[in-house]
Amino acid sequence: MAPDTAAASATEIDPTRGLSAEQVAERVAAERTNQVPDAPVRTLPQILRANVFSPVNGIMLALFAAILVAGFPRDGLFVGVVVSNAVIGVAQEIRAKRELDKLAVLSAPKARVVRDAEVTEVGVSEVVADEVLELTPGDQVVVDGVVLTTSGLEADESLLTGEADPIEKEPGDELLSGSFVAAGSGRYQATRIGAESYASSLSEEAKRFTLVNSELRRGIDTVLRWLIIIIPPASALLILVLLDTEDRWQNALQGTVAAAVAMVPDGLVLLTSLSFVAGVVALARRRALAKELATVELLARTDVLCLDKTGTITTGHISFGDVEALPGVDPALVATALGAMAHADEAPNATMLAVRDAYPAPDDSDGDTGGWTPVGTTPFSSARKWSAMEFRSHGAFYFGAPDVIAGDLPAVMDQVAVHAEAGRRTLLLARSPEPLADETLPESRTPLALILLEDTIRPDAPEILAFFREQGVNLKVISGDHTATVAAVAQRAGIPNAHNHMDARELPEDTDEMAAALADNAVFGRVTPQQKQAMVGALQSRGHTVAMTGDGVNDVLALKNADMGIAMGSGSASTRAVAQLVLLDNSFATLPEVLAQGRKVINNVERVANLFVTKAAYAVLLTVLVGIFTVEYPFLPRHLTLVGTFSIGVPGLFLALAPSTELIRPGFLARVLRFSVPAGVLAAVASFFVYEIARRHDEVTLPEARTVATFTLLGVGLVILVVISRPLRPWKVGLAAAMGGSYLIVMVWPWARNFFELDVPPAWMWIPTIAAVVIAGAGVVTIPRALRRYQDQ
């Protein structure tokens, strides 16, 4: 929509008064409200649909129907996996939904609306058609609209267009939701709300509670895709073989279902989701809002953490230190000018608020107050690094970075350097007789005074930064402040190599050269928003996984492009909107907990994946062996349900939620396959070998042969369980022992033994059975380790 069209479509509303209470009520009654989803989770119907009607559940239900057609309802025990998948999955996601709903109230974007001449903060969904909204720096534009009034209003539409340069907005110009205010302030009127605006689609996408394309998910999806390709032809060939081998088609179908059930990784997706959800809930209890399930994985894989100084290492609260009037300058003029600028600023940032607290507005007792009424304003911009005001009788005053305003004056810069080395943040007040010229500094300008501000380092920052350093995470401090000041703060906070610092204005634009500079330095000052984004990209080009923390508008581009964006809850709405993780209580100490949860999820999902991929591997190989030797399938479906429950399902549930602090290594899928395929081959060969010995002996019946095969498969499965549980803890050994004891109970309990059709074989058969378990178990311990050493060479 063109600006003039947008303006024409807006209802005439006084921007100083906005809508009246009656007008708001009329629009609410007519349902002309900005209805958008507020909760960052799936709805209850979506949760039920995703957990009940999953592909794995569909396959298992089809196999259950097949076993009922064959007339073996006892072999349908595996349908319990469908029930448990659905019940556990739904229960856990509803639990997560409740936890995140509590946090959503705090993190949901707000809008400041003008109603009956008063500014009120309301939820985004409470904005009505034709609403007048107020904007200040850092605000997110929540609905589409047309600008009514402006005071240097600049909108950054990079999230919509990819263009990073702020766009100056004048009355009548269009504002699109999803953009944010880079500088200035103003008011605009809503023209498109709800589903018609960008906000609806953007907020829906940003708040979708889903598994993202993480390394874990990619690996598991790859396994599932291959199994979906393998299972149908393997099952079709098996049933053809069994139809020739078995005397009844029902038995052939029974054996085919047994093989197919074993090949389906029925609990893998459930336990993976369960691990993610448990991590998200744990973070929610620490008041950390994870926008997506895989957020808990991202920080654990991070090897470079980029830190914004203000609001991250420091508290973000700037305290006023002192003013040093330059030689020949009247201190009273400096105090009056600072007070006038601070109190006339309609959207003061933290710096101006500190100045406002230190200096009152000019006194009107001399009748000269009108002389300190601003006739022109240039709001602060992180790109320009200065703000300005022109007063009727006193000229224009410029307030900002000394090296930008007076970089060509050595005497001034020498004083700045002294303060910067001491870690003080230094700003400059300058004056010019020339009229204000918006974006450019005048040729004639006189420095008046240095304003000294102090940053307060977060009490927990040194300890937390030391923790990340010990974990092998490379720390980079990226700030728009003076380089020496940033370096001094970084040294106080304990950043390693903080003495290696660089002014970002000297950074090369070439990505490779920039990456080299980033490798050589730990602290960067005078960084523009575009450079922050480029620096993240340069690090990623070297194969690094990059996390970025920030709380200001100038951090948005970098947060959006980082592998993991971390925003402070007190930060701007735009940073909270693009970040994957929001620390609602602004506690930097939450990050180690995020790292711990990520390690727990990654390590536990890998253990669970080892179990299920091993199961699929031995099921596929058993199908091949049955086809080659043209014999009855070694197991009934209920046998494999028993083995799967005691060696995979129940222990997998414990392992998925167990504490785990091991360091993360890349190559998830390669490691899983390197362990699971040999382990699956050993389990299949051992159980089929014992089965063939028993089947070929006249004294051993088919049920007895299947019993020893089941015992062998379970025995090797328990060895696999112990191996993947390393490092071993008493409870893990106890878990494996409990699973083995449960199988023995089934063997000695007559009802259970009859139900599962387990017949005790002749005593001599236990010798090859135990030998097969020992030999295969030794192979499970040694072969994957040997393969890993061979690959590392």
How distant, in Å, are the alpha carbons of 212, 682, 689, 761 from that of 618?
A: 30, 8, 13, 23
Quote the Cα angle for 505-508-513, to 5°.
145
Kindly report which listed range (52-61, 98-107, 537-546, 691-700) carries the lowest average pLDDT score: 98-107
- The pLDDT, as a whole number, for residue 701 is 93
Residue 210 confidence class, pLDDT cut points 50, 70, 90: very low
How distant, in Å, are the alpha carbons of 16, 150, 173, 258, 601 from that of 4?
A: 21, 17, 7, 69, 53
- The pLDDT, as a whole number, for residue 69 is 85
Per DSSP, the three-state class of 387 is strand
Percent of the chain with pLDDT over 70: 90
- Best-predicted range by mean pLDDT among 8-17, 198-207, 341-350, 687-696? 687-696
Three-class DSSP labels, 121-186: EEEHHHCECCCEEEECCCCECCCEEEEEEEEEEEEECHHHHCCCCCEECCCCCEECECEEEEEEEE
pLDDT in tens, 245-288: 777 888 888 888 888 888 888 778 777 877 888 888 888 888 88
pLDDT in tens, 150-184: 888 888 776 555 455 678 898 999 988 878 887 88
Tokens 């004891």 appear where?
Answer: 741
- Looking at the predicted structure, is the pLDDT value of residue 350 above 90? no
Q: Which residues pair with 453 in a beta bridge?
A: 320, 425
- The pLDDT, as a whole number, for residue 36 is 57
Distance CA 578, CA 568 (A): 12
Catalytic residue among 156, 308, 403, 563: 308
- Best-predicted range by mean pLDDT among 7-21, 101-115, 489-503? 489-503
- The pLDDT, as a whole number, for residue 559 is 86
- The pLDDT, as a whole number, for residue 154 is 86
Distance CA 383, CA 182 (A): 9
pLDDT in tens, 15-24: 889 999 999 9
Judge contact between 372 and 340, C-beta under 8 A.
yes
Distance CA 478, CA 311 (A): 12
Q: Which residues pair with 321 in a beta bridge?
A: none
Mean residue pLDDT of the chain comes to: 84
Tokens 């766009």 appear where?
Answer: 167
Tokens 């700030």 appear where?
Answer: 479
Distance CA 98, CA 87 (A): 17
In this prediction, residues 222-240 reach a mean pLDDT of 86
Crossing angle, helix 766-792 and helix 668-695, to 10 degrees? Answer: 160
- Looking at the predicted structure, is the pLDDT value of residue 512 above 90? yes
Within 422-471, where are the H helices? 461-470
Q: If 0-12 CB within 10 Å is exposed, 13-18 middle and 19+ buried, where does residue 85 land? A: buried
The secondary structure of residue 580, as a DSSP letter, is S
Q: How many CA atoms lie within 13 A of 268 on its CB side?
A: 27
Per DSSP, the three-state class of 650 is helix
Three-class DSSP labels, 145-163: EEEEEEEEEEEECHHHHCC
- Looking at the predicted structure, is the pLDDT value of residue 433 above 80? yes
Q: Position 300: which residue type?
A: A
Distance CA 194, CA 28 (A): 13
Residues 6 or more apart whose CB falls under 8 angstroms from that of 536 comprise 306, 546, 548, 558, 561, 562
Distance CA 650, CA 656 (A): 10
- The pLDDT, as a whole number, for residue 267 is 76
Judge contact between 383 and 421, C-beta under 8 A.
no
Judge contact between 338 and 355, C-beta under 8 A.
yes
| Backbone φ, ψ for residue 758 (5° rounding) | -110, 110
Judge contact between 689 and 786, C-beta under 8 A.
no
- The pLDDT, as a whole number, for residue 40 is 44
Q: Of 366, 343, 340, which is closest to residue 353 (Cα–Cα)?
A: 343
- The pLDDT, as a whole number, for residue 9 is 47
Q: If 0-12 CB within 10 Å is exposed, 13-18 middle and 19+ buried, where does residue 281 land? A: buried
Residue 646 confidence class, pLDDT cut points 50, 70, 90: very high
- Best-predicted range by mean pLDDT among 148-152, 434-438, 463-467, 715-719? 715-719
How distant, in Å, are the alpha carbons of 177, 237, 584 from that of 1?
A: 13, 61, 36
- The pLDDT, as a whole number, for residue 78 is 75
- Looking at the predicted structure, is the pLDDT value of residue 208 above 70? no
- The pLDDT, as a whole number, for residue 423 is 67
- Looking at the predicted structure, is the pLDDT value of residue 793 above 70? no
**Joined tokens for residue 337:** 């000018």
455 is catalytic: no
- The pLDDT, as a whole number, for residue 200 is 52
Task: Look at the chain and count its residues.
Answer: 793
- The pLDDT, as a whole number, for residue 567 is 86
Judge contact between 430 and 440, C-beta under 8 A.
no
How distant, in Å, are the alpha carbons of 77, 272, 404, 410, 729 from that of 413?
A: 80, 57, 10, 5, 61
Kindly report which listed range (45-49, 296-300, 448-452, 767-771) carries the lowest average pLDDT score: 45-49
Judge contact between 639 and 687, C-beta under 8 A.
no
Strands (E), 20-143: 110-115, 118-123, 132-135
Q: Which residues of 186-200 are buried (b: 16+ CB within 10 A; e: fewer)?
A: bbbbbbbbbeebbbb
- The pLDDT, as a whole number, for residue 3 is 40
| Backbone φ, ψ for residue 201 (5° rounding) | -70, -40
Judge contact between 338 and 424, C-beta under 8 A.
no
Quote the Cα angle for 735-736-738, to 5°.
65
